[in-house]
Amino acid sequence: MKNPSPKKIHNYNKIRRNRVYFGIVLLMVVVGLFFIFLGRFSYIVASGKLNNINLKERTNLKYQQDRRLTAVRGTIYDANHNVIAEDSNVYNLYAVIDSKYVSNKNKPLYVKDKAHTAAVLSQYIPLSKAKIYGVLNNQDPNAFQVEFGNAGKNLSLEVKKEIEAKHLPGVYFTKSPSRLYPNGNFASHIVGLAQLDNSKKASNGTLVGVMGIESYFNKVLTGKNGVRRFKTDSYGYELPDSPVTTKKPKNGQNITLTLDSRLQSYMESTISDVYQQYAPVKMTATLMNAKTGKILAATQRPTFNPATKAGLDGSWQDALVQEAYEPGSVFKLLSLSAAIDSGHYTPNAYYQSGAVNVSGNVVRDWNYNGWGSIPFSQAFPRSSNVGFVKIEQQMGAKTWLDYLNRFGINKKTGITLPGEASGSLAFKRPLDQAITSFGQGVNVTVMQMMQAFSAVANNGKMVKPQIVSEISDPTTGKTTKTKTQVTGKPISKNTAISVRNAMKDVINQSYGTGQVYAIPGYDIGVKTGTAQIAQNGAYLAGDSNYIFSVVGMAPIDDPQYILYITMQQPQKMTKPAEQILASAFNPIMKRALEYNTDQKAPDVASITMPTLTGQALTEAETKLNQTGLTYGVVGSGDKVVQQLPLAKENVLAGQRTVLLTNGAMTMPDVKGWSKNDVLKLAEITGVKVKFKGDGYVVSQSIPANHILNTDSKLEILLSSQKTE
């Protein structure tokens, strides 16, 4: 065998040597990397950090869960501690229609029998069987689930339970927090509204006030959420022995209003009746305690039902504080007060009524030709514009402006309601100064007027209107009461007495404009008003294009109550404006006086309405039968969720109570009901009602037991012949 050549041997040794060198280098790299990793690992173990990240904290975060503990929003009460607004939960209905959605045992978890499901659901939500069936037959092949619009939203717990009891495959619910307004249409703009805040910044499921007290005191009512912190395993389940830390939520504070539910409910019903019958564009009514400034009842039209949201779209503004208007002749209360108090009133002097020239402009009385030469003492009860122009001229603009400031005109009252307007005052020209004496050229709010009126009612002391009685913290037990606040003394006691005597003349004298406001058995004083409406720089013409108003005080010698009602442009002015206003003013003032033990009216058979809300329907019916009250039931459920009249309200024997139950909202048989009874039905359901005729119901456009919703329109035929 031939020996390898030296060259080949050399190459072989070279290759072998290179391999040895490479092995040594590789070993050194591996050993180096090992020590690097060992050092790095030792550092991580010792420091517990990686790239400045605390691994222990990161691990804790991965297996740590925080569960929010939601604070309860504070409750709003009336003056008698009846609930006006409180927290609740509502449920939204949806249905799964994807046939692939089944259980591990292939049990259908989707809607399999659509016709049966539609038939059952139509008994609980205000949608027909056909419409529900159409929703369930969604044509989108990729649709997993379907919803039912507004009809399937905001369902009560009772309705949810009833649907679940039917065991319908594929029918499910989601829960969301809600605000419960058990009284329906009840000082809606004052109480306001709280809704879910769906903004990105908001916590999931947070209620926020968007109107009224709910908005003004939103932070007070909201409280602070708590948290429960615990450990979970890699599957997300809570570890049984892991430490748990809990930060309890701080519930919102409760607010008690000055509103009296008995008076408020009666005012709502009375104003609704007038609003339905005469169709004014706007209407307000405010009843205040003259001594304290507490608002006992207040409402406006148009309004809305916070429970059903009916009417909300066109009724966001609070007319009592956010809208400024020319008040008209009720403003003569202030100009007469200023003239008497400043010593510029000469009641026995005579002037020529009918017309007066002011800087080349003619100002006329509402009675075009006037009443001839009459004493200034008749200017107020006759509501003579000419007389008050002359009174303002005798005072002088400087004095008159001083008293306007004293009465708080053109200034906010500071009432605890959002968006209060300050009004405006045109006072540069002699004509401007003259016409403010009878309420033109000046824009005010209802609450400004109530504050100014209080000086006349309260012997010169002017008190701030008050809507909140107290705020209480359920956590600490601390209660903060709102005290009566005297905002000034613009006139003397003697001046106030003189003005109230003039208010008596408006009713008692044969030439007074307010004789229709007399209430037998009570001493009342009033001032009427008819204000022109400015539009595009000119005043509107026409018999109904006015803001008609009346303010009254009673008992007039020592007023306990001030009632102020305004009515703008009644579209069905079938009676004189004063008769229309009297149909609201007289019963409301009389009802208030009946609660005053010093001014008790003759005995009337009355019953205190029992508390029925939250009770079983059978129990409520038994109570009503025992008290001698008739009733009508709205809904297919077995539990009462709303009632009208409200609990503790005084009602006449035989008066009808309307009960709203859980379950589907169904139409009752209303034949034989009075118009007022049907208005209660409209208020508690949100249904729009159109009346024809007078008297009692003889026919209804929606049959009994038919499903109702807030879009339902009910036509009622009334007849003077009552049928049962």
- Reading the block at residue 99, the tokens are 């046939």
Task: Encode pLDDT of 352-371 as tens digits.
Answer: 999 999 999 999 999 999 99
The verdict on whether omega for the bond into residue 302 sits within 30 degrees of 0, i.e. cis, is yes
496, 456 contact by CB (below 8 A)? yes
> Nearest to residue 347, comparing CAs of 363, 336, 355?
336
Return the pLDDT at 706: 84
- Reading the block at residue 55, the tokens are 């691994």
527, 506 contact by CB (below 8 A)? yes
> Nearest to residue 145, comparing CAs of 94, 109, 100?
94
The verdict on whether omega for the bond into residue 576 sits within 30 degrees of 0, i.e. cis, is no
Return the pLDDT at 436: 97
205, 224 contact by CB (below 8 A)? no
Return the pLDDT at 47: 61
Q: If DSSP codes are grouped into helix, strand and coil, which group holds residue 559?
A: coil
Q: What are phi and psi of 547, to 5 degrees?
A: -100, 105
Task: Give the separation between CA 714 and CA 722, rounded to whole angstroms.
Answer: 19
| Alpha carbon separation from 555 to 107, 450, 498, 500, 506 (Å, rounded) | 74, 17, 15, 10, 15
Return the pLDDT at 2: 59
- Reading the block at residue 80, the tokens are 């008698």
How many beta carbons lie within 10 A of that of residue 708, not counting itself?
20
134, 115 contact by CB (below 8 A)? no
| Alpha carbon separation from 575 to 490, 572, 581 (Å, rounded) | 38, 8, 10
Q: Which residue has the tokens 């927290």?
A: 87
- Reading the block at residue 482, the tokens are 């709102």
* 223 phi-psi bin (left φ>0, alpha ψ -120 to 50, beta other): left
382, 370 contact by CB (below 8 A)? no
Element containing residue 245 per DSSP (H, E): strand 245-247
Residue 4: alpha-carbon gap to chain centroid: 110
Beta strands in 646-693 (DSSP E): 650-652, 656-661, 688-692
Return the pLDDT at 231: 65
Helices (H), 75-138: 114-121, 129-136
Work out whether strand 442-443 and strand 424-425 pair parallel, antiparallel, or are unpaired: antiparallel
Return the pLDDT at 602: 41
Task: Give the separation between CA 287 and CA 298, rounded to whole angstroms.
Answer: 6
Instruction: Read off the DSSP letter of residue 381.
Output: H
DSSP characters over 588-638? HHHHHHHT-GGGPPSP--EEEPPP-TTSBHHHHHHHHHHHT-EEEEESS-S
Catalytic site positions? 329
Return the pLDDT at 286: 98
Residues contacting 26, CB < 8 A, separation 6+: none
Residues contacting 276, CB < 8 A, separation 6+: 675, 679, 689, 691
pTM equals 0.75
262 half-sphere exposure, CB direction, 13 A CA radius: 20
CA angle at residue 705 from 700 to 707, to 5 degrees? 95
Task: Give the separation between CA 44 and CA 24, rounded to whole angstroms.
Answer: 30
Residues contacting 35, CB < 8 A, separation 6+: none
Task: Give the separation between CA 364 and CA 382, rounded to whole angstroms.
Answer: 13
Task: Give the separation between CA 193 and CA 210, rounded to whole angstroms.
Answer: 6
167, 144 contact by CB (below 8 A)? no
715, 700 contact by CB (below 8 A)? yes
Q: If DSSP codes are grouped into helix, strand and coil, which group holds residue 267?
A: helix
Return the pLDDT at 603: 43
Task: Give the separation between CA 530 and CA 566, rounded to whole angstroms.
Answer: 10
487, 408 contact by CB (below 8 A)? yes
Q: Which amino acid is at 22?
A: F
Return the pLDDT at 379: 97
Task: Give the separation between CA 26 and CA 20, rounded to whole angstroms.
Answer: 10
How many beta carbons lie within 10 A of that of residue 577, not counting itself?
22
650, 607 contact by CB (below 8 A)? yes
Q: Residue ranges of the chain with pLDDT lower than 70?
A: 1-12, 39-69, 198-205, 228-242, 244, 596-606, 650, 652-654, 694, 710, 720-724
